Structure 1
Amino acid sequence: MAITQQLARIPAEYLASCRRSAATSPEGDPLWDPPPADVLDLDWAPFLIERVGELGGLGDVHRKALRQALDGDTAIELAFLHTRPHTIAPFGPAPTALSAVQVDRVAQLLGEIDFPALLAALPTDEAEAAALLGNGADEIVGGPGAYALRHFDALREFYRGASRRRLLVVLWWD
């Protein structure tokens, strides 16, 4: 079974409802089931996206925003989503989340990142670029640059949509 990063954009009220469900259910079932249109599967791309930013010389503010977009924050208590047998992250670390305010800031900063320019800083030879990136980049069909760009663009659009709708984002590995 592959372990990939998942993100869900949800209203705070939905998270509160899941918290109440977990507290009142004899099995602790939060009834977590965000709409498929509001879930993003980033596959294994987070490692490559961050590495491209590092190698491409992404500045500190944007690098921190990218890390926050991919790692979330622990300020919102989500233990109820990480309790067996209903954990949403059975194979990874505990889920994290970003508040709507954090999502708005992250979306703004992701929108300022010129990812193609970061990719341009990598060697043009795909084998050399893959060796620099690591994390199995040499095995990505179609090349690691196209893969990372496609997933970065999806991440940016996901956060942009969450920001427009004033949603929070929950992140986990599954």
Structure 2
Amino acid sequence: HRGETVHTGPHGTVWVDNSKATNPHAAAAALAGHEDGEVVWLAGGQLKGASVDELVAKHAARLRAVGVLGVDREMITAAVRRHAPGVEVYATASTDPAGAMDELVSWAARLEPPAKVVLLAPAAASLDMYTGMAQRGDLFAAAARREDRENRAGSRGEHIDSIPGGTP
């Protein structure tokens, strides 16, 4: 669960599980190993009062898109809007552990052109939705492997910019 490549997709997308990155400092270290514009970052959970502003500001150039889940998803979204305003953000409001992860993975897999790296580095604790970081990572790995075999239709989440009352 620390920088483990769990799948390589048909378009060369590398799916990396860094679910041990349960705080902003650890997530920053995970992002630091990637090139500018290549990372679809999956993040979220319980920030426990931590800020992700410095993390997002420092690594904004690396981000192609960001998928968020969990109780503090809006805080992460706000940091991305402030420090990486051109980066697409997708959020799931699902609180079902497998369903939320499946949704984020499906969204990431549908990005065009395909992402170079999809990185699960939550920057937050997992206990708002998962039994622990291992469950979150295992569900990510399973969803990434399944994504190539399934043609998923539709989406339950919303692009943050389309949420009523949100600011563009």
TM-score range, shorter chain: under 0.3
- The structure with the larger Rg is 1
More strand by share: 2
Larger relative contact order, structure 1 or 2 (CA cutoff 8 Å, min sep 6): 1
Q: TM-score, normalised by structure 2?
A: 0.25
The structure with the greater share of residues assigned to helix is 1
